[in-house]
Structure 1
Amino acid sequence: MASNHEIGIQEKPRLDKWVVLSIQHLFAMFGATILVPFLVDLSPSVALLSSGLGTIAYLLITRGQVPAYLGSSFAFIAPIISAMAIGGPEGAMVGSFFAGIVYGIVALVIKTIGVKWIMNILPPIVVGPVIMVIGLGLAGVAVDMAMNEQGTGEYNGTFLFVALVSLGITVLASIFFKGFFSLVPILFGIVGGYITSLIVGIVDFTPVKEADFISAPEVIVPFVTYTPSLSWTILFIMVPIAVVTISEHIGDQMVLSKVVGRNFIKKPGLHRSLLGDGVATIIASLIGGPPNTTYGENIGVLAITRVFSVFVIAGAAVIAIFLSFIGTFAAFIESIPTAVMGGVSILLFGVIASSGLRMLIDNKINIGEKRNLIISSIILVVGIGGAVIQVNEHIEIPGMALAAIIGIILHQVLPNKEVSYGKKSMFETDE
């Protein structure tokens, strides 16, 4: 849906148009936001609830000046899976909480001394390969879901067929659809894969028939449904990822600034948007949802429609919260076969890895330089290879965190540091 004229950040559209525009934003984030909890075995309903609440908190913290929607973060998929294997959903939520705290600390430092220091710690040659590790580290998860029956792990040709159809539809939607429809290929892939699953008979509709229409999301709340316990291993698994997602957040803010024509890094300030992102992740951790992050798909909607109203964004958040209480809807989401999600994930996880490569290209990083070649190579092998440091029986630093830490250390100690920043700063602002 294209807008005939631009609708400003503080402008409130007519009610009927408001609802339609908000639903459009909901569609843009929906496929990816429900995919994350599906992959990590959390509740999609709670993910929708935390997405809506997190977005409203973000809008309030940024004083209604930044039109951004927040959804489930893909960067945390592998860490959540690892954390849940150690401490269950409760352990993963504690890790998410402290990842959100890191956002708050970084926001405070940026408010105090500015943003340039981040570049010294996180140059493109570190962040790019770590993002590639996040995507490629999940490759096995996507392929397993696409071709193996969950539970038994046995190869299933029907599953693979459904996964390939889902993948094919997602690819075709990405390439050939125009305008808004080009922004929601995941949604088309899931819908097409679901229809295919119905045809081949691998959908179990029983939970949908048995579900209550109105049903509160199954939240997990600290000190109410469980007593939190601190695991250093879980903290090492999850907290370092916040460092990478913070750099992604800054990139999103810069893109959003270009789309809207305002410098959000200056006003309301990067510290406010980072704090909003962190608070949204903390809110999610307190009710059992995955960490939140700003969504590129929704920035794309803003670019196409020229509707920048924060009221439209807030409307999408309210609708997401409403949907989280529809029990039939939740059961319907959970009835989607894993093969469908596996097929879509093959592309998505590859896109994550490719975005890390794109960061190196956009910043014109010369991999021919020995320094850059060494840093990127070690990060990739340590991260994807799953290297760990076992400190003691209670503390373990896993591959993804270890890769990021080693990358940061190598950048600080190896000579000729300037070649790792490239020809274009990823934190360039008008300041």
Structure 2
Amino acid sequence: MSTKPILEVNEIPKPGQWITLSLQHLFAMFGSTILVPYLVGLSPALALISSGIGTLAFIILTKWKVPAYLGSSFAYIAPIIALKAQGGAGKAMIATFVVGVVYWLVSLIIKKAGYEWLMRLLPPVVVGPVIIVIGLALSGTAVGMAMDNPAGKYSLLYFSAALVTLVATIIFSVCFKGMLSIIPILAGIIIGYIYSVFIGIVNFKPVIEAHWFEMPKFLFPFVSYKVNFSWDIVLMIVPVAVVTLSEHIGHQLVLSKVVGQNYIKDPGLHRSICGDGTASIISALIGGPPKTTYGENIGVIAITRVYSVYVIAGAAVAAIIFGFIGKITALIHSIPTPVMGGVSILLFGIIASSGLRMLVDSKIDFGNNRNLAISSVILVIGIGGAFIKISDQFQIQGMALAAIIGIILNLVLPGKPDVSADDMFETETETEKKTIKKLA
């Protein structure tokens, strides 16, 4: 496989080429980015707009050197659903803002002290099981979406739509190569949607009635909702944010390998984390979910060998435009719940499996009782839904509690191995490289 780039990082493509390449990145992130707000009850239009603005902010803060796209993060689905149930969308937006603040604080510390301390705090034996919890804790939600009709009762007809979607997504993911293997979620949703039209469970009336240009219902703090900060938001969100920081570092290491630049040093990990946090803060201020860099778009960059940051910026602008097209928003809302449920069955399973892969790639020895104890406690507490409740406004639950206990156990139990951050992600990066080679 040739490694010579078609477009360098700071190379501006020709207009026609620019549009085509940017739309390719838009499609790569589209399915995942709209799925998160669909699951947590937020606006897909605002998710697209905030992802576009957030990506542009990230590019500016990283000095136009890092070609990364930022979309909706799956790690925060469960806590956002829980917080939204407690205090509405406003509480979810405050939580999203807190995610950004955590990233900002960590970026400041990394600028002064480096990033090795973060990886020592979050070794694979902690992060891997927490990622497994993130996926499996949502399994009941996915299955319910797949099997139930709008009345909440089991329906074989609706379940068939979920199964068709699931099978199609798996086929695109496993049997296809190149670009189609990068967009299995979007492709699966399209196939499931077409099947749903044939069996008569799609309502086209809202799509027909929608205007081409339509202003989304932005959620502005102090205007759309009261800003009432509470410590349970911090306790529920911060542990998850700390875990997703390791994902961010992993993406930066993989992207560095793909592009042939050391993004950890230039423009610096502190800048990319700051950019990621800024994207979440922007999202919180207008009504979108927390943001994260997308592995799907890194895959597109690797396959096409188009490293231009201007192509990513073009995709961001396109996402913003799509968010204001009313018929596209209505079309997204018309996707039947079982279609999204079918995709979610695979997607949440993949999230859990990626945590397992981290443990395997990092060669975690479960013959070691220390590792066995840490991972076992994280899994049972997280999946079992354990919680500590001091008052209605102060509680830690689910994956947040699992992550906190995992971090504490790793710090206090004897026999802690001395592993550097580069060593931790070396094997995972090699796996990503093999996957990229296969796709190309």
Structure-2-length-normalised TM-score: 0.94
Partner of residue 233, structure 2? 234
Partner of residue 289, structure 2? 290
Contact 1:365 1:419 in 2 (8 A): no
Q: Report the Cα offset of residue 267 of structure 1.
A: 0.4
Contact 2:119 2:246 in 1 (8 A): no
What SS class does the counterpart of residue 418 from structure 1 fall into?
A: coil
Partner of residue 359, structure 1? 358
Contact 2:120 2:421 in 1 (8 A): no
Please list the CA deviations of residues 175-205 of structure 1 after superposition, one character each: whole Å capped at 9, or x if unmatched. Answer: 1111111100001100000000000000011
Partner of residue 37, structure 1? 37
What SS class does the counterpart of residue 292 from structure 2 fall into?
A: strand
Contact 1:197 1:203 in 2 (8 A): yes
Instruction: Tell me, in whole angstroms, the C-alpha distance in 2 between the residues paired with 1:277 and 1:420.
Output: 26
**One-letter amino acid of the counterpart of residue 374, structure 1:** A
Please list the CA deviations of residues 305-360 of structure 1 after superposition, one character each: whole Å capped at 9, or x if unmatched. Answer: 00000100000000000010001110010000000000000000000001111111
What SS class does the counterpart of residue 220 from structure 2 fall into?
A: coil
Contact 2:169 2:184 in 1 (8 A): yes
Instruction: Tell me, in whole angstroms, the C-alpha distance in 2 between the residues paired with 1:418 and 1:346.
Output: 35
Cα–Cα, structure 1 residues 261 and 420, in superposed 2: closer, same or farther, change >3 Å? closer
Partner of residue 348, structure 1? 347
Please list the CA deviations of residues 84-133 of structure 1 after superposition, one character each: whole Å capped at 9, or x if unmatched. Answer: 01111110000110111000000000000101111221111001100000
**One-letter amino acid of the counterpart of residue 121, structure 1:** L
Partner of residue 101, structure 1? 101
Q: Report the Cα offset of residue 421 of structure 1.
A: 7.7
User: Within the alignment, does 1:222 sit opposite 2:218 as a pair?
Assistant: no
Partner of residue 253, structure 1? 252
Which one is further off, 413-422 or 207-216? 413-422
Instruction: Tell me, in whole angstroms, the C-alpha distance in 2 between the residues paired with 1:242 and 1:321.
Output: 25
Partner of residue 242, structure 2? 243
Q: Report the Cα offset of residue 392 of structure 1.
A: 1.8
User: Within the alignment, does 1:186 sit opposite 2:222 as a pair?
Assistant: no
Q: Report the Cα offset of residue 227 of structure 1.
A: 1.9
Contact 1:3 1:307 in 2 (8 A): no
Which one is further off, 17-26 or 231-240? 231-240
1:308-319 pair list within 5 angstroms: 308-319=307-318
Instruction: Tell me, in whole angstroms, the C-alpha distance in 2 between the residues paired with 1:394 and 1:67.
Output: 41
Alignment gaps of 5+ in structure 1: none
Residue identity (%)? 59
Contact 1:95 1:235 in 2 (8 A): yes
Cα–Cα, structure 1 residues 240 and 427, in superposed 2: closer, same or farther, change >3 Å? farther
Please list the CA deviations of residues 147-175 of structure 1 after superposition, one character each: whole Å capped at 9, or x if unmatched. Answer: 0124x321011111000000000000011
Partner of residue 120, structure 1? 120
**One-letter amino acid of the counterpart of residue 90, structure 1:** G
What SS class does the counterpart of residue 170 from structure 1 fall into?
A: helix
Instruction: Tell me, in whole angstroms, the C-alpha distance in 2 between the residues paired with 1:146 and 1:233.
Output: 31
What SS class does the counterpart of residue 278 from structure 1 fall into?
A: helix
What SS class does the counterpart of residue 424 from structure 2 fall into?
A: coil
Partner of residue 325, structure 1? 324
Partner of residue 137, structure 1? 137
Contact 2:120 2:419 in 1 (8 A): no
1:52-201 pair list within 5 angstroms: 52-150=52-150, 152-201=151-200
What SS class does the counterpart of residue 396 from structure 1 fall into?
A: strand
**One-letter amino acid of the counterpart of residue 313, structure 2:** A
Partner of residue 274, structure 1? 273
Cα–Cα, structure 1 residues 249 and 260, in superposed 2: closer, same or farther, change >3 Å? same
Instruction: Tell me, in whole angstroms, the C-alpha distance in 2 between the residues paired with 1:425 and 1:160.
Output: 41
Instruction: Tell me, in whole angstroms, the C-alpha distance in 2 between the residues paired with 1:47 and 1:226.
Output: 18
Cα–Cα, structure 1 residues 188 and 224, in superposed 2: closer, same or farther, change >3 Å? same
Instruction: Tell me, in whole angstroms, the C-alpha distance in 1 between the residues paired with 2:179 and 2:327.
Output: 27
Q: Report the Cα offset of residue 65 of structure 1.
A: 0.3
Partner of residue 389, structure 1? 388
CA RMSD across the alignment: 1.8
Q: Report the Cα offset of residue 224 of structure 1.
A: 2.0
Instruction: Tell me, in whole angstroms, the C-alpha distance in 1 between the residues paired with 2:82 and 2:389.
Output: 15
